[in-house]
Amino acid sequence: MKKLAGWLNWLNREKMTLFIGSLVLLFGAIFPWYRLPTQTLTTFGTNIDFTNLGRVLAAMFAILGLAFTFLFSISCAPRLLFWIALLTVLLFPYFVTTWSPSVTFIASSYYNQGESLSNHVNSNFSEVQAQWKQNISLDKPDSPPTIFELSIQDSRFFQMPSWEKVLQDGFGYKNSFFSFIGKGWGFSLIGLVISLIGFYLVEEHQNLNVFIKDVSLLLPQTLLLLAIILFYLVGVNIINYQLDTQFAKGEYYQVIHTSKTLASWYPPLQGDEAFLERLAKAEFYADEAEPALLNFVKGLEHYKLAEFQQAENYFQKSLDIQPKLFLVRGYLASAMLNQGVNYLNDSNTKNPGIAADFFEKILQIFPVHVEALYDLMLARVVNGEFQKSADAAKQIIEVQQYFQEPRIGLLGQAYLHLAWAEYHNGDVNKTWERYRQSLDSKTWNKSSRDEK
């Protein structure tokens, strides 16, 4: 009875709450914090290994929470340390979107492609069953996204409505980022909050007074940190605006030096077309042209004139010189995508076979490019190559697993193309199974092994 009484004495609400928080933090250490296709990351010369630091952080605080659950008094727990960890986790989107521009570019590209394809599927639903989509028309692809989205154009930025833009574009709380967030980040955030709640449930504490005291200690430092980040973001825009003025005055050497320094201080500028174009022109006028950047700008000139073949040539030269220029890689894929779309849409030059070749080449430059895969799937079926269309559909299904919210319409079309391939193979039962998958999302995970 004494042991039972001792156990019940231990089993109080604060220890149970802290124990639950620690378990949730363990899940934060187990699951990844961010997910993108490994093949794409490798081709772009980057990785997301740094996000594993978050998992280490979650593991450390899970162990710390368990220690104060079973070994030490909760009243002695380092509450402020858990608050600092919570703030760090909340700033995770800012760290990724600011200091890993290539990862941000890949995520933004995938997100925009998904949006574009969802619109195409919805607007062309009437063509789904029409003669195996023989008359369907592909949409013109959008230009690659800029990752320097917090661009201050005028003084209206400092009005209250702009603070939402600061949160989304400055601190990274935007849809394109959270489309690929992993479960680990969410578990870590929830685990830290639950653990903090456990700390403030201790009966010998005057809970509200202790909470107010801790917040009053942390609030000035937190506000100072946020002010520094905001000043940093505004300062980048001010310097960037001054570069326009210096360029107009012909101070090219100053523009070159400042631009390179600024890009190292604020990496998202490496993914801004206007910034790179100004730098390339300044280098050209100062007789210090870098071949990779110069070819990129020449390609941009042709791209804007819809001369996609010439643009492709210059973009390819630029990428051959500097393979890590992620924006160049994006524009090269877009130039080739435009050519493939033209071969499929234009009745005078319609050739789905050539279009498919362009889409295949894009996948070597930008692996699992969702828009290229979708267009390839359609081009193959228009050309009567149902099995090859199904192969593209399987890749679409696979890459959608990285999205937090897979595009239902796009996946439905992918399964429909699998059904058509099975029909042409003469497998009626498999055809019906695939067709049902195109209509019922509940059946998707049942045969996920078949898509690999």
Global pTM?
Answer: 0.92
Q: What digits encode the pLDDT tens for the residues 322-379?
A: 999 999 999 999 999 999 999 988 877 788 899 999 999 999 999 999 999 999 999 9
C-alpha to C-alpha distance for 374 and 367, rounded to whole angstroms: 13
Q: What digits encode the pLDDT tens for the residues 79-95?
A: 899 999 999 999 999 99
Instruction: Tell me what pLDDT residue 449 has.
Output: 44
Instruction: Tell me what pLDDT residue 129 has.
Output: 55
Burial 197-227 (b: 16+ CB within 10 A, else e): bbbbbbeebeeeebbeebeeebeeeeeeeee
Instruction: Tell me what pLDDT residue 4 has.
Output: 45
Q: What digits encode the pLDDT tens for the residues 230-276?
A: 999 989 998 999 999 999 999 999 999 999 999 999 999 999 999 99
Q: Are 172 and 96 in contact (CB under 8 A)?
A: yes
Instruction: Tell me what pLDDT residue 39 has.
Output: 95
CB atoms within 10 A of CB 20: 18
Instruction: Tell me what pLDDT residue 431 has.
Output: 78
Q: What are phi and psi of 181, to 5 degrees?
A: -70, 145
Instruction: Tell me what pLDDT residue 451 has.
Output: 44
Q: Which residue has the tokens 């030269």?
A: 317
Q: Are 289 and 296 in contact (CB under 8 A)?
A: no
Instruction: Tell me what pLDDT residue 330 has.
Output: 96
Give me the residues of the chain with pLDDT under 70, please: 1-11, 125-133, 153-162, 203-207, 441-452
